[in-house]
Amino acid sequence: MKYRQLGRTGLSVSEVGVGCEGFVGKSASEVRTLVDAMEDLGINFMDFYSPDPALLENFGYAIAGRRDKFVLQQHLCAVWKNGQYLRTRNVEETKRGFEERLRLVGTDHFEIGMIHYVDALSDWEVCKRDILPIARKLKDEGKILHIGLSSHNPEVALEAIKEEDLQVLLFSVNPCYDLQPAGEDVEQLWAESAYSHPLLNMDPERQRLYETCERQGVGIDVMKAFGGGDLLHADVSPAKVSLSLYECMAYALSRPGVASVMAGARSVEELAEDGKYPDAPEDQKDFAGALASMPMIRWEGHCMYCGHCAPCPVGISVADVTRYLNLARAQESVPETVAQHYSVLAHHGSECIGCGACETRCPFHVPVRENMRLAAKTFGV
């Protein structure tokens, strides 16, 4: 397993995380078997949006004696009421629900307390007023170590991360969602009408979100990387092209700011397949061909950090140079952290000899030579 820093939290999380859906309805022994497999695979990161008491209690039994091996992301505002899940903004329900999560799992803290499912700016204003103070108090008490937010809307996420103590974002990332503009209705991200016309390149607001998160040290962990499984099958994918499990994961993990993908697993076999991702051959992770073949979608001129431009005859990591250039472009001045990351690269944009070999290999027709010139001008080297 490979690990990444989750933004500025100081937490080291596995590239492959696990969502809780596959644990629902399992017995205590079945949950323990899945947790044993997670530990064996080196998967240490798990998200719990579900407030299902049986799930939480079974997971608590499963991690007893090894709590320190896992980074747990639990949700505020997702509560169990009348035998079912409810999203709430009620202050008292939120407080009681989170205390109940702690009790059921049998721990005194969770690494991340996630303000749950905020897709409208008006809802964020409510959460900022009523729920964020609860999260801050829980953090002061040591019951959560870091505050996060889950959302499908880049407009909301960009507004929320203006709050300095919001350090983690659970966000939906995949090649189809990334084409769609911000909106408050998550169903529109997958509506047939949204893909009935030609689409060109990533939505600028989504790109700005990822780059802003990387600059500010807000760690992103990814939900919906497979579009609920639809992206894996051409007949139901809106892109009309199938992607593999590993192509979807590689795409999400190549976005700026992303540390981990929350993969679903309902069995040890599915978990093992997810867990093999970091060591899979690079050709199994190469999403460029699939993206370039999508009939109604074009990523023209947009660097996807896929690496097809390599090798450079003078050793420039074109993808890394372009990544830092994109992080710096939208700023009035170059962020110090971005400049530092660029400076330690083995080779810089100024070393480009203009041979153009990279451009002949790029599936997305990125003007690499111009980007190298801009990087040299932007960073002074």
Render pLDDT for 151-164 as a digit per residue (tens, 0 to 9). 999 999 999 999 99
What are the distances in angstroms from CA 120 to CA 155, 156, 171, 185, 376? 8, 6, 14, 8, 40
- Please report the pLDDT score of residue 190 as a whole number: 79
pLDDT at 62 over 90: yes
pLDDT at 330 over 70: no
Domain extents in the chain: 3-284, 318-379
User: What's the chain's average pLDDT?
Assistant: 92
As a whole number of angstroms, the distance between CA 360 and CA 40 comes to: 43
Confidence of residue 184 (pLDDT cuts 50, 70, 90): confident
Render pLDDT for 303-318 as a digit per residue (tens, 0 to 9). 888 888 889 999 999 9
DSSP assignment of 245-267? HHHHHHHHHTSTTEEEEEE--SS
- Please report the pLDDT score of residue 260 as a whole number: 98
pLDDT at 302 over 90: no
pTM, 2 dp: 0.89
Return the CATH number of the domain spanning residue range 3-284: 3.20.20.100
Beta-carbon count within 10 A of 122 CB: 10
Mean pLDDT is lowest, of 40-54, 194-208, 211-225, for: 194-208
Render pLDDT for 118-137 as a digit per residue (tens, 0 to 9). 999 999 999 999 999 999 99
